[in-house]
């Protein structure tokens, strides 16, 4: 369905052949067992994307952009919009494709602005765990990364990423950015003894979905080269609140096991507890880069994401609380070495 040959070859050349073989086996297995569902629809939409050469690109602007409206005629623009809308919802972005503004639910440039000053990605090999549709991966390339590998099990997001990449390919190379339709757990771990050696690993918006947060952090640690660094972003609660050190919404039957209408939110710690977990997993030199409460500028419904969004996740009478009565979403960014 998607061609990862140039990624595998590039890993081989970098002396990471065992890693290439291991992910190839998992990716082949994923596609061999793919249940159809919406996939034929996404595939048809992807194949119908007009073949237009973008004249320019920008991976450093707020909207990741490929080409402009002058590169494409009206009929092709209409087809482009139709194809991109067939792979909705667009949760992460924004993107500007040949003049079409994809106004995503999340204004991801805001998080990028909060973390960009804390990282140096020049010539780095980067892993982005739970990368969504790869908006941040493009920003990482724009910040000088030489190769970015994303993993995310949601194939819809891989289609979104590949749709954007189709128009960026003259400017970014095929091996420089790829999303594998896998989970973190599919990547080699310490028991496998297969070296992966990324310079920088991102895990943003994933930790709270993991039942065993320290295991996730240990696995992230394993993916790093010596002196590599982790950028971790996750939900936190304030210290000294009625909730103590740790919220465990997925265990609370009285609140339907939901947090801001999300299932599978297993842990929302205080920053102090999170730092303990990170140290336990083997990291040192931990820096709190940012703590921000999510607002309606950053997360909202749009014509490209028509389902419930932050507005509906919060208590209408008290936006400091989720509809379940928990503290409203607040996120920390940690840099860990
Ligand atoms: C809240 S989104 C965050 C997306 C992006 N990293 C960001 O910060 O905006 C979480 C993403 O992690 C993916 N995900 C969930 N569990 C995962 C796992 N075990 N391994 C890899 N990705 C996972 C989901 O499919 C989803 O796209």
Domain ranges of the chain: 5-336
- Residue 155 CA to ligand 1 center (angstroms) comes to 12
The DSSP secondary-structure symbol of 164 reads H
Over residues 9-27, mean pLDDT: 98
Considering the entire predicted model, what is its pTM?
0.98
- Residue 137 CA to ligand 1 center (angstroms) comes to 13
Residue 54 binned pLDDT confidence (cut-offs 50, 70, 90): very high
- Residue 77 CA to ligand 1 center (angstroms) comes to 30
Q: H helices of the chain, where? A: 5-13, 17-32, 39-47, 74-86, 108-116, 135-142, 155-168, 213-222, 271-280, 310-313
Joined together, the tokens standing for residue 105 give 């639910």
Is 174 a residue whose pLDDT tops 90? yes
Pick from 108, 130, 217, 292 the residue to mutate for probing ligand 1's pocket: most ligand atoms within 8 Å of its CB. Answer: 130
- Maximum distance among all alpha carbons in the chain? 59
Per-residue pLDDT tens digits for 59-109:
999 999 999 999 999 999 999 999 999 999 999 999 999 999 999 999 999
Write down how long the chain is. 337
3-class SS shares of the chain: helix, strand, coil, % to 5: 35, 25, 40
User: Residue 186: CB partners within 8 Å, gap ≥ 6?
Assistant: 23, 26, 151, 180
Per-residue pLDDT tens digits for 222-271:
999 999 999 999 999 999 999 999 999 999 999 999 999 999 999 999 99
Q: Which atom of ligand 1 is nearest to the CA of 186?
A: 20
Judged by average pLDDT, the poorest of 32-36, 49-53, 188-192, 327-331 is 32-36
The CB-side HSE value for 103 (13 A sphere, CA atoms) comes to 6
Q: Which is the CATH superfamily of the domain at 5-336?
A: Vaccinia Virus protein VP39 (3.40.50.150)
Q: Is the CB of 183 under 6 A from ligand 1?
A: yes
Closest C-alpha to ligand 1, atom 22: 130
């Amino acid at each position: 369905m998607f061609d990862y040959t140039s990624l595998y070859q590039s890993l081989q050349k970098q002396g990471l052949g065992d890693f290439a073989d291991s992910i190839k086996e998992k990716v082949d297995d994923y596609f061999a067992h793919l249940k159809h569902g919406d996939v034929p629809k996404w595939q048809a939409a992807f194949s119908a994307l007009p073949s237009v050469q973008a004249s320019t690109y920008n991976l450093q602007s707020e909207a990741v952009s490929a080409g402009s409206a002058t590169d494409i005629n009206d009929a092709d623009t209409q087809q482009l919009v139709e194809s991109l809308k067939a792979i909705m919802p667009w949760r992460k972005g924004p993107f500007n494709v040949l003049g079409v503004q994809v106004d995503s639910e999340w204004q991801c440039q805001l998080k990028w602005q909060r973390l960009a000053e804390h990282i140096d990605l020049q010539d780095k090999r980067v892993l982005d765990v739970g990368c969504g549709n790869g908006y941040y991966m493009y920003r990482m390339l724009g910040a000088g990364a030489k190769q970015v590998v994303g993993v995310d099990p949601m194939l819809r997001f891989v289609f979104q990423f590949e749709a954007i990449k189709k128009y960026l390919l003259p400017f970014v190379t095929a091996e420089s950015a790829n999303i594998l339709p896998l989970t973190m757990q599919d990547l080699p771990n310490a028991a496998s003894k297969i070296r992966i050696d990324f310079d920088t690993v991102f895990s943003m918006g994933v930790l709270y979905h993991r039942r065993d947060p320290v295991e996730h952090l240990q696995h992230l640690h394993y993916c790093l080269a010596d002196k590599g660094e982790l950028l971790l972003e996750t939900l936190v609660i304030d210290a000294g609140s009625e909730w103590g050190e740790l919220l465990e919404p997925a265990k609370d039957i009285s609140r339907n096991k939901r947090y801001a209408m999300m299932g599978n939110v297993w842990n929302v710690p205080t920053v102090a507890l999170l730092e303990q977990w990170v140290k336990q997993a083997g990291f040192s030199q931990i820096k709190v880069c940012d703590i921000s409460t999510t607002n309606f500028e950053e997360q909202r419904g749009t014509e490209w994401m028509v389902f419930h969004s932050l507005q509906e996740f919060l208590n209408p009478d008290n936006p400091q609380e989720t509809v379940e009565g928990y503290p409203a979403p607040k996120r920390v960014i940690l840099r860990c070495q």
